[in-house]
Amino acid sequence: MIDRKTPEEIGAMREGGRKLGKILKTLLDASLPGTNLLTLEETAMKEIFSSGGTPSFTTVADYKWATCLCVNEVIVHAIPKSYVLKDGDVLTIDIGMIYGGFHTDTAWTKVIKNSESRIKNLGEIELFLKSGEKAMWDGIAVSRIGNRVGDLSRVIDEEMKRSGYQVTKTLVGHGVGRTLHEEPQIPGYVRGELKNTPKLIGGETLAVEVIYAMGSGVVVYDNDDGWTLSTKDGSLSAVFEHTIAVTSAGPEVLTLMPRQSPNVR
């Protein structure tokens, strides 16, 4: 069942999302060659609490961390560990926060580099990341009252096919708000007939998420921690995600980072 939020409840998510976007920007800016992933996790936990929130991810049974920090072929749900980032790594930071009783959820992927970096395949990686970001914005743009979840799936799928990349079939976007994961599920590919997918309604809040890979998009558990998922073929992966509200004025992005403009036509 879709959980429709009141304007006041969306207001709480707007404030929490603004704070979370600021935290994500802080973490991305700190992600440089020589940075340890554990430092990013410690910073995330500190910033969430100092912002008046609590970590969303710790509401998931047996998960004790504020972030999921995924490097290269690791695609989602990676427990923060002692790993020092190096030139050319591809890092995804996934983070959620409860503020005012409501969850917001966001993720971003970047190439690890500095002004002195010389990364052989940098152009290829940047094209890969631009495609995923574009697919996310395309999905957000059609998140309008009266459209259907299948409209989001279609435009994300179209961008991925145009670019030659693959979304994962087993990992999807989702509703978000009172809990971290709510209905509806939002696949990044066309699944069934459009008319059979849920219709979007005003007050709905969604985590529009593009989870994809350079290779086949098939994922497997990477180790025995019960969380970490990686691409089966070892190809690079990325995730782009924003929490949005579906409103009468169109989609409102709640987790924008400072100085980030919504790329929604």
pLDDT digits (tens, 9 = 90+) for 12-63: 999 999 999 999 999 999 999 999 999 999 999 999 999 999 999 999 999 9
The model scores a pTM over 0.95? yes
- For residue 117, is pLDDT > 90? no
Domain boundaries, the chain: 7-253
pLDDT value for 223: 80
Domain boundaries 7-253, corresponding CATH code: 3.90.230.10
Which residue, among 95, 104, 96, has the nearest Cα to 11 in the 3D structure?
104
| Residue 130 pLDDT > 80 | yes
